[in-house]
């Protein structure tokens, strides 16, 4: 928690909605949606916002965080979650990871307002805020982000660190706080 500064006060919500599936999520005070959560059926969802050129102001699309809340409240299987993501136009763009805790299977869905590309066998064991599927990697905003952001190096480093099973939560936290480059050297000055 000390990594986020004084303004970062995470809130853990445990929600039992009437007629829906119970879920828990991590967010911030006043958040209506979810960016990281798990439901009573073991369906876990994580979101990493991304950039694309097809994001347009509209009143009909759903914010990604509200879509994730719907997934947690309604999905009982991985396929249920995928169907909800693919069938819901979103207001923004994001890489959405859905994990079935029962089977250990997981998918990566790149969701833009107009497209949803699902990878059932993701190439990397880590994701970032740049779209990587062939259908979306050439988007001009995404291409620009892939060239100027440090995402590729961070994802490659994280993928290297999680190749073997992690021993505990502390080991996972160490991966998230890792500040080294892929070659074990320090990252360049000014690197976030």
Mean pLDDT, 10 residues at a time, over the chain (192 residues)? 58 94 89 90 94 75 90 97 95 93 94 91 83 80 81 82 88 86 77 58
Residue 5: what are its φ and ψ, rounded to 5°?
Answer: 85, 180
The whole-number pLDDT of residue 1 equals: 46
The whole-number pLDDT of residue 182 equals: 82
The whole-number pLDDT of residue 8 equals: 63
């Amino acid at each position: 928690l000390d990594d986020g500064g004084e303004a970062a006060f995470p809130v853990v919500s445990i929600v039992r909605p009437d007629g829906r599936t119970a879920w828990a999520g991590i967010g911030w005070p006043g958040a209506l949606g979810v960016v990281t959560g798990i439901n009573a059926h073991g369906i876990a969802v994580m979101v990493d916002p991304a950039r694309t050129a097809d994001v347009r102001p509209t009143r009909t699309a759903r914010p990604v965080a509200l879509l994730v809340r719907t997934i947690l409240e309604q999905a009982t299987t991985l396929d249920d979650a995928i169907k909800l993501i693919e069938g819901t136009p979103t207001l923004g763009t994001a890489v959405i990871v859905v994990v079935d805790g029962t089977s250990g299977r997981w998918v990566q869905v790149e969701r833009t307002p107009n497209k949803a590309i699902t990878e059932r066998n993701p190439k990397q064991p880590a994701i970032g805020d740049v779209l990587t599927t062939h259908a979306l990697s050439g988007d001009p905003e995404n291409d620009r982000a892939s060239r100027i952001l440090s995402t590729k190096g961070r994802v490659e480093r994280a993928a290297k660190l999680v190749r073997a099973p992690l021993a505990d939560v502390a080991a996972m936290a160490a991966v998230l706080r890792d500040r080294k480059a892929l070659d074990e050297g320090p990252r360049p000055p000014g690197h976030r």
